[in-house]
Every structure is written in structure tokens, then in C-alpha cells.
């Protein structure tokens, strides 16, 4: 029996933040009433004793206290850190801003905070999370996706704009590499690549207007797509800047994840505008919120939160 988590890591030693299959299966639909602090501690102490642990070890007892809140209510603190570290980090960052109150729910939150405050990796992850949130908000405020955080390599933690404008040989080598890199959609590398291509695209491109199909539930405004000059007969070039509004008009059947993937992937030139079936409902853009970001924070594979903000920033720039 042990008091501190054994974190999941990549082959390179980076912490895995995404939920395990067990965590996905354990999500609750309806939360129950929070049990009082004394009852939670008594149950954890009895659990430690029954499993051969030392009930006098406060860290061990705290590790096996049960959550009285959140989508994994009823699971033990230690279990949450080992099975959904990203969500745990989100909870810690949220609880840090709350004043402890005299009720079972608040008491349990601060027991969790007391336990996680002993773990260095959690503290470091919370710092990264808070910095990332600040950069996401700045990207939203300015409409510039360059404020998004780079989350890989030697430039991890810096903004994409800062790295792109860094004149050092190392930074410029990365920019050159990203131009032709094969990055999987929705990853941080794909977002950075999209930003690089946008910065290096011609400043002024001719535009063509495409009418949007009408839908019974909502009216979609006319969208404008930036089109590069006609290519040579033996060449074809990807569309470097995809307009979010046009994708909304043409891709109403897409989920938020699929839409973000189309935004960040090179688009193939089409012969003419395509209209979705009239029976399909109009897509509504889901705005970024701190709560919606909780489950996706630092996913080891996809980062739909940043993809959403990047597409919103692109939409804001196109509307200027």
C-alpha cells in the first residue's frame, strides 16, 4: 500500500494527462450528497488498516480518501491522480481560488488540495495549466492564435508568436521544419504548423464569395474564402488559409473535433461551392470555457481546446 501516485508517462518520460479507459467508464451521471469530513477520514483510515497500511500515516490516509465532488465522485484521491491527471490538475487549479467554507463539499475539496500539495509533479502541472489558460485567453482577446502555447521540444512553454519571431538559428530551424512537417490534426504541432503557414502566406490574396445554403433553424452569413493565384499546369498548392465561416456553411454535419481538423488541415482546391443537405441542422460553434477545457488539458495526443481557440482567432481575424 502506498501514499503517492505512480504516474503514467510516455517513452520520453512526459506525464500522460489524458484519462484512462477505467476513468472514462467511471464517470458518474448524477452526483450524490457529500459526506462530512470526519466520515470521509474515518472510512479512509479503516480502509488503510484493512489493507495492511499504517493508519497513523496521514499522507496514506489522505491518499485513500474518497472524492465527494466532480465526475469521479466516490473514487479515491490516489486513483484520480493515476487515472486522470489532467482532470485532477484542473480541479486543483479551481479549488486554489476558493475559500474554505464550513460544509462537507468544501471540506472535501480542501482535503484533496492538502493531499495534492505534497506532490511536486502536480504543482508543476498546475503552473503549466494556469499559464496555458492565460495564453488561451489572450489568443481569444486579440484574435491572434500566435499567443497559444508551444507544448513540445526546446521551446515548450513559449508562445507560438514568440518562437516564430525568434531570430536564433535553433528557432528558425524549427520553423523551417514545421513548414513541411507531417503533423496529425489537433496536436500542438499541427496548430503551430498552421500558424507558421498563415504567417508565411502572401499578405494580399484575391477573394471569391461563396453563397451559404439556408437552413430552417438558423441563417448562415455569406462566407469569404481566400484563394491563391491560379497555379501552373504542372503544380498544385494547398489552400494555406481556411476560412472558418465557409467551413461552418459547408460542414454543418461535422462535430467540433472534425471541424477543427478541417480548419487545421491543408484544404484541396474545389471546382465549386458545395451545399449541405437542407435537412441537416445548422452547426453552432462551441465557445471555449474553463470547464469545457478540463477534460482535454494537455492530452497526450489531441488538443481540441487549443484547436477551438485557434479557429475562433482565425474567424475573428477574417471578420476584421
Q: Which of 260, 33, 252 is nearest to 145 (CA)?
A: 260
- Helices vs strands, H then E, count in the chain: 14, 2
pLDDT of residue 74: 96
* Low pLDDT (below 50) residues in the chain: 207-257, 259, 262-263, 266-274, 276-301, 317-320
Is 230 exposed, middle or buried, given 0-12, 13-18 or 19+ CB atoms closer than 10 A?
Answer: exposed
Rounded distance between C-alpha atoms, residue 163 and residue 286, angstroms = 29
Task: Note the pLDDT of residue 205.
Answer: 52
Q: Report how far apart the first and last C-alpha atoms of the chain are (Å, whole number).
A: 59
Largest CA distance in the chain: 78
Q: Domain segments of the chain: what residues? A: 21-118, 125-318
User: Cell 484520480 identifies what position?
Assistant: 80
What pLDDT, on a 0 to 100 scale, did the predictor assign at position 307?
57
Q: How many CB atoms lie within 10 A of CB 39?
A: 13
**Per-residue DSSP letter, 155:** G
Residue range 170-198, pLDDT digits in tens: 999 999 999 999 999 889 999 999 999 99
The dihedral built from the CA positions of residue 261, 267, 270 and 272, taken in this order, carries a sign that is positive
Give the residue ranges of DSSP H helices in 96-167.
Answer: 104-116, 120-142, 160-164
Predicted pLDDT at 190: 94
Amino acid at each position: 500500500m502506498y501514499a503517492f501516485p505512480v504516474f503514467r508517462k510516455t517513452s520520453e518520460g512526459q506525464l500522460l494527462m489524458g484519462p484512462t479507459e477505467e476513468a472514462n467508464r467511471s464517470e458518474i451521471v448524477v452526483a450524490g450528497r457529500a459526506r462530512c469530513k470526519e466520515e470521509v477520514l474515518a472510512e479512509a483510515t479503516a480502509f488503510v488498516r484493512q489493507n495492511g497500511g499504517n493508519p497513523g500515516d496521514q499522507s496514506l490516509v489522505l491518499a485513500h480518501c474518497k472524492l465527494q465532488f466532480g465526475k469521479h465522485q466516490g473514487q479515491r484521491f490516489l486513483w484520480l491522480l493515476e487515472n486522470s491527471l489532467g482532470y485532477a490538475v484542473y480541479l486543483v487549479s479551481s479549488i486554489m481560488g476558493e475559500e474554505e467554507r464550513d460544509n462537507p463539499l468544501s471540506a472535501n475539496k480542501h482535503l484533496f488540495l492538502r493531499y495534492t500539495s505534497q506532490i511536486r509533479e502536480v504543482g508543476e502541472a498546475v503552473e503549466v495549466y494556469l499559464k496555458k489558460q492565460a495564453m488561451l485567453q489572450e489568443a481569444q482577446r486579440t484574435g491572434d492564435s500566435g499567443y497559444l502555447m508551444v507544448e513540445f521540444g526546446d521551446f515548450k512553454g513559449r508562445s507560438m508568436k514568440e518562437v516564430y519571431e525568434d531570430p536564433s538559428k535553433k528557432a528558425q530551424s524549427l520553423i523551417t521544419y514545421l513548414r513541411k512537417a507531417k503533423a496529425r490534426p489537433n496536436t500542438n504541432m499541427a496548430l503551430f504548423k498552421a500558424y507558421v503557414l498563415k504567417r508565411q502566406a502572401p499578405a494580399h490574396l484575391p477573394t471569391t464569395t461563396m453563397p451559404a445554403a439556408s437552413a430552417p433553424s438558423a441563417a448562415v452569413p455569406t462566407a469569404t474564402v481566400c484563394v491563391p493565384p491560379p497555379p501552373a499546369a504542372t503544380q498544385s498548392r494547398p489552400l494555406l488559409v481556411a476560412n472558418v465561416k465557409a467551413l461552418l456553411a459547408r460542414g454543418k454535419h461535422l462535430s467540433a473535433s472534425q471541424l477543427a481538423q478541417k480548419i487545421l488541415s491543408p484544404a484541396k482546391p474545389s471546382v465549386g461551392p458545395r451545399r449541405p443537405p437542407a435537412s441537416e441542422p445548422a452547426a453552432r460553434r462551441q465557445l471555449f470555457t474553463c470547464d469545457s477545457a478540463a477534460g482535454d488539458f494537455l492530452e497526450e495526443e489531441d488538443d481540441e481546446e487549443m484547436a477551438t481557440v485557434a479557429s475562433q482567432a482565425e474567424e475573428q481575424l477574417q471578420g476584421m
